[in-house]
Structure 1
Amino acid sequence: MTWDAYHAAEHFTMRTARLIDRHRFAYHFQSGPTAPIRSALAAYRNLDGGYGNGIDPDMRGHASQPGGIAIALCYLDEVGPIPHSIGAGVCQFLANVCDPDGSVPHVLPTIRHTEAAPWLLETEDFTGRLDITALICGYLHKHHITHHWRDTATAYCWKRVDALAWTEPAEAIGVCTFLQYAPNRNRAIQAVNRLSTMIRAVIDVHPSVEGRVHTPLDLACHPHHIARPLFTDAEISRSLDVFEEQQRSDGGWDAIWGQWDPAVTLEHEGMRTIQRLRILRAYGRVGTYLPQPRRDR
Structure 2
Amino acid sequence: MRVLHATDLARAEQFMRLNARIIDRRRFALHFRGGTAAPVVAALGAYENPDGGYGHALEPDLRGEGSQPVPAQHALQFLHEAGADDDPAVDRVGGYLASIAGDDGGVPFVLPNVRDTPHGPWWQTTDDPPGSINPTGTLAGMLHRAGSGHPWLGPATAFCWRYLDGPAAEPGAYDVLSVLTFLDHVPDRDRAEAAFNRVRDTLAAAAGSDHQGPLDFAPAPDGYGRRLFGDDLIEAGLDALADAQDDDGGWDIAFPSWTPVTRPEWRGLVTVGRLLTLRAYGRLKP
Please state which band the TM-score falls in when normalised by the shorter chain: over 0.9
| Aligned residue type for 2:201 | T
Q: Give 1:172's match in structure 2, choosing from 168, 172, 176.
A: 176
2:262 counterpart residue number = 264
2:152 alignment partner, SS class:
helix
8 Å CA contact retained: 2:5, 2:284: yes
TM-superposition CA deviations, 1:231-251 (whole Å, max 9, x none): 211111011111112221111
Structure-2-length-normalised TM-score: 0.94
Runs of at least 5 residues in structure 2 that lack an aligned partner in the other structure: none
8 Å CA contact retained: 1:84, 1:145: no
Are 2:186 and 1:182 aligned? yes
8 Å CA contact retained: 2:211, 2:255: no
Deviates more, 1:61-70 or 1:162-171: 162-171
Distance 1:84 1:90 in 2: 11
Q: Give 2:273's match in structure 1, choosing from 272, 275, 279.
A: 275
2:261 alignment partner, SS class:
helix
RMSD over aligned CA atoms reads 1.5
1:254 counterpart residue number = 252
Distance 2:14 2:50 in 1: 35
Runs of at least 5 residues in structure 1 that lack an aligned partner in the other structure: 205-210, 290-297
Q: Give 2:59's match in structure 1, choosing from 56, 60, 67.
A: 56
Distance 1:178 1:201 in 2: 18
Are 2:2 and 1:4 aligned? no
2:248 alignment partner, SS class:
coil
Q: How does 1:136-215 map to 2 (within 5 A)?
A: 136-163=139-166, 164-204=168-208, 212-215=210-213
Structure-1-length-normalised TM-score: 0.90
Aligned residue pair count: 281
Q: Shift in Å at residue 84 of structure 1?
A: 5.3
1:195–1:223 Cα change, 3 Å: same
Are 2:39 and 1:39 aligned? no
Deviates more, 1:191-200 or 1:45-54: 191-200
Q: Shift in Å at residue 258 of structure 1?
A: 2.0
Q: Hey, which bits of structure 1, 4+ residues long, moved more than 6 A?
A: none
Distance 1:4 1:85 in 2: 38
2:138 counterpart residue number = 135
TM-superposition CA deviations, 1:104-153 (whole Å, max 9, x none): 11211111111211222x43362211020000000111111112211101
TM-superposition CA deviations, 1:208-254 (whole Å, max 9, x none): xxx95322211221111122222211111011111112221111111
Distance 2:228 2:255 in 1: 25
